[in-house]
Amino acid sequence: MQQPLCIYNSLTRQKELFKPLRPPFVGIYLCGPTVYGKAHLGHARAAITFDILFRYLQHLDYKVRYVRNITDVGHLERDLDEGKDKIAQQAKLEEVSPMEVAQRYTNNYRKNMEQLNLLPPSIEPCASGHIPEQITMIEKIIQNGLAYIIDGSVYFDVAKYNQMHHYGKLSGRMIEATRSGMRSLVKQTDKRDPVDFALWKKATPMHIMRWASPWGEGFPGWHIECSAMSAKYLGNQFDIHGGGMDLRFPHHECEIAQAQASLNTDLATYWIHNNLVTINGVKMGKSLGNFITLDELFTGSHSAIDQPYSPMVLRFFMLQAHYRSTLSITVEGLQAAYQGYRRLMNGWYLLTQLDQEAVENTHTNGRLDEAIYADCAACYSAINDDFNTAKVLANLFNLLKKINGWHNGTLSYAAISKAAWNALRKTYTTFLIDLLGFKEDHNSSIHPMLEIVLMTYQKAKSAKQYNQIDFIRTTLHKIGIAIKDHPNGIRWEYQ
């Protein structure tokens, strides 16, 4: 618990001690979704990664402001597609207005995030609600001579910027390489240089999402909304900014450039990027059309999935991998996650039911105590080591073995001290429920009813009415409840 938190910083490419700029306050910004489609596994991974961050920093008693935006301004399908933005395209397909599309998918995203038991962000700003802030930032960049206006559009002058700052410091590239890497298929837009990017785009007559600006009617470029909104709510320089790996370039690179050009800061001290989810070894991507939406996963309606998997199973599945590793999603992996999740949760129930009285008056030789303290400490060192949730889970399973041991009598209560027992209880609950954010998937309102069924079962058992108890067991099995006859009592569990 006492060792310091280390975070891998994409900007410096190394693990660094976490030092907030203005303790006890911590500011976090996560690039949220562009809402023109349903939330998918990739959104979940980024959000879960940052949820752990948010939860743990709060656990460390920081006062955290967590901002996660909604990008509801369409932006362009491609740089060269004049007048077609992603949301407008989708609106056309669905025959509704663009704002309806944005609202629909915003609702869907929020619903999915809630299902995943993510803590809601402190502020969830929409890009469309912050057009003035974006315009102000663009004006500042123009004043500083790092942007130019052509025919109602504004572009960031990357080459000029690069004379003073390193454009590419986040993604580790040089401007020359970037330029040469730009394929010649990029049709000449009115940009002076292919590496330049749009801060503001003039709207064609067809373009629906449009706003008035000093340069005429148009809409903001893709990168400016995050710079503007993060600076507005977290200050010109704040602690943590992140998102998926794929945002590192160009999105976050551009954000840094915009911030330097207008605010004279790198925007954030720590840049955090979670790795991507792959399916059959290939990353999921919008353009590849191979992504699995969260609704599809939760209902089992995707062809790559054999059955529904609950939000908590997905959460477990994702936390079993380190956030900076690619994560390959497979049916076997999800099934393994399902089993593991159930075991950990059942352990948590047991913990609340174990006979604490027995622990009260005991003396021990300390050996088991030591093992428990070691596992508890290991949970903290794992999460402090760049949020190694996989290792945290491994340690929770070690603790689980002890819990199960007492439960079925292979471990004696006499072997543990009360202090160690309390440490185990506290650590297990804190990590499983508070920090990793697991909860019971099922509706707990049936629990009292189950207790009644259990009493009937127990009666039948005492009377050795095996037909009767087999009937109860198979019937409950059908609704996903298993009855287990333990040596010291009968319990039910979700299966």
Q: Does 68 contact RNA by CB under 7 A?
A: no
Among positions 62, 215, 222, 233, the unique one binding RNA when judged by CB under 7 A = 222
Q: Does 111 contact RNA by CB under 7 A?
A: no
Q: Does 482 contact RNA by CB under 7 A?
A: yes
Report how far Cα 142 is from the mean position of its chain's Cα atoms: 35
CB of 291 to RNA, least distance (A): 6
Binding mask 428-467 for RNA (x = CB under 7 A): ---------------------------------x----x-
CA distance 178 to 45: 28
Q: Which of residues 377-396 bind RNA (CB under 7 A)?
A: 385, 388, 390-391, 393-394
Q: Does 367 contact RNA by CB under 7 A?
A: no
Which letter, b or e, does each residue of 263-273 get, where b requires 16 or more Cβ atoms within 10 Å of its Cβ? beebbbbbbbb
Residue 211 DSSP label? B
Return the number of the residue (23 or 451) whose C-beta is nearest RNA: 451
Among positions 333, 377, 381, 453, the unique one binding RNA when judged by CB under 7 A = 333
CA distance 172 to 159: 16
Among positions 182, 304, 455, 479, the unique one binding RNA when judged by CB under 7 A = 182
Return the number of the residue (20 or 247) whose C-beta is nearest RNA: 247
Q: Which of residues 4-43 bind RNA (CB under 7 A)?
A: 31-34, 40-43
Binding mask 194-213 for RNA (x = CB under 7 A): x-------------------
CB of 366 to RNA, least distance (A): 19
CB of 380 to RNA, least distance (A): 14
**4 preceded by a cis bond (ω within 30 of 0):** no
**24 preceded by a cis bond (ω within 30 of 0):** yes
Residue closest to 44 by CA, chosen among 394, 270, 380, 334: 334
CB of 187 to RNA, least distance (A): 12
CB of 275 to RNA, least distance (A): 7
CB of 264 to RNA, least distance (A): 25
Residue 432 DSSP label? I
Q: Which of residues 84-103 bind RNA (CB under 7 A)?
A: 86
DSSP string, 97-127: -HHHHHHHHHHHHHHHHHHTTPPPPSB--BG
Return the number of the residue (96 or 374) whose C-beta is nearest RNA: 374
**How deeply is 461 buried, as exposed, middle or buried, from its count of CB atoms within 10 A (0-12, 13-18, 19+)?**
middle
Among positions 163, 325, 353, 456, the unique one binding RNA when judged by CB under 7 A = 325
Segment holding 277, helix H or strand E: strand 277-279
Q: Does 166 contact RNA by CB under 7 A?
A: no
CA distance 296 to 432: 26
Q: Does 244 contact RNA by CB under 7 A?
A: yes
Q: Does 125 contact RNA by CB under 7 A?
A: no
From residue 474, give the alpha-carbon distance in Å to each of 400, 444, 449, 460. 28, 21, 17, 15
Strand 218-220 vs strand 197-202: parallel, antiparallel, or unpaired?
antiparallel
Q: Does 77 contact RNA by CB under 7 A?
A: yes
Among positions 5, 26, 46, 231, the unique one binding RNA when judged by CB under 7 A = 46
Among positions 91, 147, 383, 469, the unique one binding RNA when judged by CB under 7 A = 469
Return the number of the residue (20 or 344) whose C-beta is nearest RNA: 344
How many CA atoms are closer than 13 Å to the CA of 4, on its beta-carbon side?
Answer: 8
Residue closest to 137 by CA, chosen among 15, 237, 221, 227: 227
Q: What token pair was written down for 260? A: 């330097």
CB of 114 to RNA, least distance (A): 17
